[in-house]
Amino acid sequence: MPVEVSSFVGRRDELLQVQRDLTAFRLVTLTGLGGVGKTRLALQVAEKVRRVFPDGVWFVELAALGDPALLEQTVADALGVRDYSARSPLAALAGVLAAKRLLLVLDNCEHLRDACARLAAELLAVAPGLRILATSRHTLCTTGERVFQVPPLPAPDPDHMPGPEELCRVESVRLFVERAAAVLPDFEPDAATRATIARICHRLDGLPLAVELAATRIRVLAPEQILRRLDDRFRLLVGGSRSVPRHQTLRASIDWTFAQCTVLERILWARVSVFADGFDLDAAEAVCAGGGIERSSVIDLMAALVDKSILTEVGRRRSVHYRMLETLRLYGREMLRGTGEEPGLSRRHRDYYHGLVARVEAGWLGPDQVAGCERLRLDHANVRIALDFCLTEPGEHQVGLAMVAALWTYWIACGAVSEGHHWLTHALALAPEPTPIRAKALWIAGWAAQTRGDFTGAAAALRECRVLAEQLQYEAALAYSVRYAACAAMAQGDHSGALTLFEDALTRHRVLGDKVGVVSLLVMLAFCYCLRSDAAHGDLDHAKALCDECVERCSAVGESWCRSYALYVHGLALWKQNEYGAARTKVTESLRLSHALNDLVGIGRSLELLAWMDAGHRCGRAARLFGAAAAIWHTVGVPLAGITSLLSDRENAEQRVRRAQGFHTAFRDGEKLSPDQAVAYALGDNETITTRASLPAPASRAPAVTLTRRELQVAELVAEGLSNKEIAARLVIAQRTAEGHVERSLAKLGFSKRAQLAAWMAGRRGNRDQ
């Protein structure tokens, strides 16, 4: 859920009604004018009902998404559902949500109304514990939808002005005063000034966005001046006609804000509207400078737009990003169209993000790999807009194909195979010319197809790639076509045939001096030797030597992703040779790297292998690790990422653990852990880590506190996923008593979330089992 940076004013009745609606209906849509406060109301409702949903409240912002075909993938991304399998993102979502009790908030659905309606209907049909709260300027028009029209805030009638005390309680007036005080801390209106503010709110029809925009001007204008300017500027409101469409009222407010900007500020406002879902200073300078705006002045102009509440600063780990309310962005886009600059700005926007993608690809084998992944995740919406421009603008298809192909490392490392497949399919169809870029895109398409289990499609793409590469004498494409043919053979169990092809491809990569190709292929070749495990040929020793070479190459340049897989494969080889201590060291190091990259497949493989190592002597811990890995495979869609040769090893290890007492309880405990929590548990007392979320203490570091017998009973039920109401029913106590037990337990243990208490209980059982 996004963090709200300003107070929420009023809406008590609306909050209660929407909460009631969510109890009675599984799909509730908040409708109303842009700027009326649909999103803020949805966030407040979600916060109020959070405890009702043990699997959480999830917020999906759709304003920046322009292609309905990517809706399912966007929702899957927001829920952390990675798509490594052949199933569609919808199928992956359905599988994950089927047994969950959660609230999904879909914000800004109006431009994707039909797609959102279909998605809501299909998910609700398969997930009985799911509730959806949508915001849209239009109803979704789907079966079972409950529509709640969000009204403007109450505004006083100047002809029947309330008294000073009552004015203080009017919501639109309160909103104006609070927002004015935020920009002018010593703002304390007297009775006369509050009456003026009431007239302003009335003229603005109580629309929250309009009221807030007017309030921010208090720094330079007195309320009386604001009111007079509304009289002069907002001719729509003369006479207070109730027939004036509300969106025109809002537009008038934005028109007025626009008029308060200098000429250069207006130009920059219009130009930054080409960005979606945020941008940083570098992007603004590269795309928006020129044509009257010096590059060196962009920072001052952006500061002025922030000061006028047109742009909002969003703190990010490495740099500050800027965002604009969608209503303001659309207004700026309209202004941009009027200047005739839109085509050129869209092209410059595309060029900037094409350059970013190319830089991430070029720096993939190096210390900037993790930062590159994070940057592309942050700018995913802008990358999509750039790709869409390429594939819809005549004459830009080749650039689009090049950009899609340059994203291949991102598709791999960030679990976006389905989206990569989407863009590759479109780009290849639009750019049929026999170019080196097409050859590259074809081997990437072959890899994407086989990752999704489509070996027929993969073979066709790789075959076309080889023919084109030979025609163009493009040796790099030939090398990659051979390696992915080897991957297909390995995935289908032909290890000896795969080894021959891998060795051929490795020789080609070495001759070409392709460092990325060499290090990634060293892991693939090692993995294939490990899967074959032919003692007569020394396969496992050969695998370890290849992993050592890969780790050495990666460590020398600060690379993380290939190194994580090399360490995993090395650990697998050591485990097969019964060298358990050394194997554990390699795999835990791999787990740390995968976690830093947020690579779910890497995390799942490492958790799984650690479970195999614990099978037979630490069964409780092994069962929890199996459960944690199973949750990840359920999200990803393919157990062990589709490597069927490992399934027998997995089955043997799990069978040993299943015979132990308490397996099912421990397994369920593991399933409830988030990936962050699972990593913390797996590393145990060997590692102190900083994660992206608040983590429970590892089992061996359980806080030295004592819970009462009743508190332990309640904690056990929290770990089972029960709500306070369900706990009260189970133990035959009052719900308030159950709430008190939970709160005291959290306080004693120093936790803030129920999930932390659940993970602590899992660790406590683990200590008993061990």
Q: What SS3 string covers 17-29? A: HHHHHHHHCCEEE
Between the alpha carbon of residue 504 and those of residues 76, 382, 442, 522, 527, the distances in Å are: 38, 39, 19, 12, 16
pLDDT given for residue 243 in this prediction: 37
Higher-pLDDT residue of 616 and 222 is 222
Beta strands in 315-381 (DSSP E): 321-323
pLDDT value for 687 = 33
Q: What is the pLDDT of residue 242?
A: 39
Assigned token pair, 487: 């991957």
Asked if the model's pLDDT at residue 353 lies above 80, the reply is yes
Instruction: For domain 263-339, give the CATH number.
Output: 1.10.10.10
Alpha helix stretches (DSSP H) within 127-245? 164-169, 171-183, 191-203, 208-215, 223-233
The number of beta carbons lying within 10 Å of the beta carbon of residue 661 is 10
Distances (CA, A) of 154 to 140, 263, 290, 531: 27, 35, 45, 69
Q: What is the pLDDT of residue 459?
A: 93
Q: Does the pLDDT value for residue 131 go beyond 90?
A: yes
Q: How far apart are CA 339 and CA 274, in angstroms?
A: 13
Question: What CATH architecture applies to the domain 12-149?
Answer: 3-Layer(aba) Sandwich (3.40)
Whole-angstrom distance, CA of residue 53 vs CA of residue 100: 9
540-568 pLDDT, tens digit each:
999 999 999 999 999 999 999 999 999 99
pLDDT value at position 271?
A: 98
Confidence label for 168 from pLDDT (cuts 50, 70 and 90):
confident
Query: What average pLDDT does this structure show over 11-28?
Result: 93
**Taking residues 127-144, what's their average pLDDT?**
92
Res 604: pLDDT = 92
* 121, 98 Cβ separation under 8 angstroms: no
Two tokens at 733?
Answer: 């106590």
- pLDDT for residue 34: 76
**How confident is the model over 520-545, as pLDDT tens digits?**
999 999 999 999 988 878 899 999 99
> What digits encode the pLDDT tens for the residues 71-93?
999 999 999 887 677 788 899 89
Tell me what pLDDT residue 312 has: 82
pLDDT in tens, 645-667: 787 888 888 888 988 878 999 99
Phi/psi at 104 (nearest 5 deg)? -110, 120
pLDDT computed for residue 748 by the predictor: 67
Weakest-pLDDT range from 254-268, 475-489, 582-596: 254-268
Most confident of 302-306, 373-377, 469-473: 469-473
pLDDT above 80: residue 769: no
Looking at the predicted structure, is the pLDDT value of residue 455 above 90?
Answer: no
Q: Over the stretch 197-223, which tens digit does the pLDDT of each residue have?
A: 999 998 887 888 888 888 888 888 899
689 has a pLDDT exceeding 50: no
Confidence of residue 66 (pLDDT cuts 50, 70, 90): confident
Which position has the token pair 């007297």?
Answer: 190
Virtual torsion, Cα 589, 592, 596, 600, nearest 10 deg: 100
pLDDT at residue 246, as a whole number: 39
Residue 134: phi and psi, rounded to 5, are -110, 150
State residue 250's pLDDT score: 65
Judged against a pLDDT cut of 60, whether residue 694 lies above it is answered with no
**What is the rounded distance in angstroms from the CA atom of residue 696 to the CA atom of residue 681?**
8
Average pLDDT over residues 350-377: 92
**pLDDT surpassing 60 at residue 247:** no
Tell me which H or E stretch contains 631: helix 619-636
pLDDT of res. 762: 63
691 has pLDDT over 50: no
pLDDT of residue 747: 64
Q: What pLDDT does residue 706 have?
A: 62
Q: What number is the average pLDDT over the span 143-165? A: 85
| pLDDT for 724 | 78
Sheet strands (E) in 441-592: none
The ranges assigned to domains in the chain are 12-149, 158-259, 263-339, 341-433, 599-703+750-769
Of the candidates 156, 151, 136, the residue with the CA atom closest to the CA atom of residue 208:
151
* DSSP-assigned letters across all residues of 49-110: HGGG-TT-EEEEE-TT---GGGHHHHHHHHTT----SSS-HHHHHHHHHTT--EEEEEE--G
Q: Are 138 and 113 in contact (CB under 8 A)?
A: yes
| Whole-number pLDDT of residue 235 | 36
Roughly what angle, to the nearest 10 degrees, separates helices 171-183 and 208-215?
40
pLDDT (0 to 100) of residue 704? 41
**Per-residue pLDDT at 104 exceeds 80:** yes
Cα 470 to Cα 476: distance, rounded to the nearest angstrom: 10
d(CA 692, CA 690): 7
What is the chain's mean pLDDT, rounded? Answer: 86
Q: Which of 286-300, 440-454, 625-639, 716-730 has the highest mean pLDDT?
A: 286-300
Which residue is listed with tokens 């909002």? 312
What's the predicted TM-score (pTM) here? Answer: 0.74
Q: Poorest-confidence range of 300-309, 640-649, 711-720?
A: 640-649
Q: What is the largest CA-CA distance in the chain?
A: 97
Model confidence band, residue 471 (pLDDT cutoffs 50, 70, 90):
very high
